[in-house]
Chains A and B, each alone.
Chain A
């Protein structure tokens, strides 16, 4: 592999690992030192590899250089090293004793601790995601800006404010105690869920970036599932949900980067391996006595891996939505529940329920009403679709609504 391709790839996979280990070692107050050392390591790689060629073991080379740079930093900043060796329980016989452990286990432990640090409620959900992308996923500031459809300055400020806040609050980089784990894990899962959704539902046309966001959210969730203290039912349920959703990634976006509706998807593009993994983690998730919203969402996503429209499928989806809404209301879940009701109990009953929702600022609400009235009362259907069109913002949403309106006109002609 060319060094031009290799370095960005290593940056994505190794930057976050070394940063995590160093942050874990240094503590939150010295987070920039850790970042500087690792950035400097990659800078050396760029300079030296282009002159002398790529070393035999590039990852090992990065680790060794990062370790040496850390030790040099300690030598130049003896006070810092002294303070550190007193804090961390290593025998303080000198700087050389401070062990920079870049083993797989140490990397995983450091990353797990960092997940809990980054997903701290003292900073906003948006900042948690940005910080997670930066420190846990090795995303550069430009990539984060692209993901959020914003500019570098905004991301840069957001990251710095978040880091400052973590320092002021003296958030420790550690995994929570068993007693706290459920509460803390809740917040982590919300962030990972948002990170995944950012990739899955993003309006960004950059398909590769969107896939990366989903993959990173899955990797971090997987890390939690593989770690005994955090291997909780809700973690497995979230991972299952992510597997089911991403199994349709190839099918739901066409070559032009446009969204393909579920009903129009080519099922041969669904990823069978991911569906199987989803089922596996859903089974793992059932080994507990508490059901989280992720359990219900994973259940719904499971039934969507069956393309056939059966009463059994829609009845199951309806009941899962009934339960999900009792745990956590959201307009989108209410709308989807009503769609499932139409499929399971018929359009007549669903129209009565849909009229009760009154989500009058939501274009999906009018699209749902339009769908329900189609072939029942096409005049009403048209009226609702036209309201939906006036409320929709994105071109993709408008295109779908226009298609529905044309569909009604076409059936009108054929009669």
Chain B
């Protein structure tokens, strides 16, 4: 078993892509049930964290700019770490992630963690 980070991205900027408070409320249960499902399969390594949409970026010249999202509209909204046999299984698990559906319509990036055995 390897560990994979699932990174959730969505558009935090465009006005028309922001969920209503009701939509958000309705989506909470989906997220809780999805994480519960991963935990019930003993495949959730870390519940991770949600990130606030605002942030700072420090460039190589130490210039500080606002917002983590310089070139693209989508920004990281949160992450978790799961346990899976391989990329195929990790991707299948990620396909159930609520971020892919309305009202978020975002994306999931799947990245294998470097461990001592696979470095």
| A326 close to B42 (CB less than 8 A) | no
- Nearest Cβ distance between residue B29 and chain A, in whole angstroms? 8
- Interface hub of B36, B41, B47 (most chain A Cβ within 10 A): B36
| A334 close to B32 (CB less than 8 A) | no
> A319 with B32: in contact, given A326-B44, A326-B47 (CB under 8 Å)?
yes
| B39 close to A326 (CB less than 8 A) | yes
Residues of chain B contacted by A337 (CB below 8 angstroms): 36, 40
- Chain B residues in contact with chain A, CB under 8 A? 29, 32-33, 35-37, 39-42, 44, 47
CA–CA, A357 and B47, complex, Å: 19
Count A interface residues, CB 8 Å. Answer: 18
CA–CA, A329 and B42, complex, Å: 6
| B44 close to A318 (CB less than 8 A) | no
| A325 close to B33 (CB less than 8 A) | no
CA–CA, A356 and B35, complex, Å: 14
| Closest 5 pairs between A and B when the two form their complex, measured CB to CB | A322-B36, A325-B39, A334-B40, A329-B42, A326-B39
| A356 close to B41 (CB less than 8 A) | yes
Residues of chain A contacted by B40 (CB below 8 angstroms): 321, 325, 329, 333-334, 337-338, 353, 356-357
- Give 5 A-B pairs besides A315-B29, A321-B40, A326-B47 with Cβ atoms closer than 8 angstroms: A322-B35, A329-B40, A333-B40, A334-B40, A357-B40
- Nearest Cβ distance between residue B81 and chain A, in whole angstroms? 12
CA–CA, A322 and B47, complex, Å: 11
| A322 close to B41 (CB less than 8 A) | no
CA–CA, A325 and B41, complex, Å: 9
| B37 close to A326 (CB less than 8 A) | no
CA–CA, A357 and B40, complex, Å: 7
Please, what's the 1-or-0 string for A324-355, where 1 marks a CB less than 8 Å from any CB in chain B?
Answer: 01100100011001100100010000000100
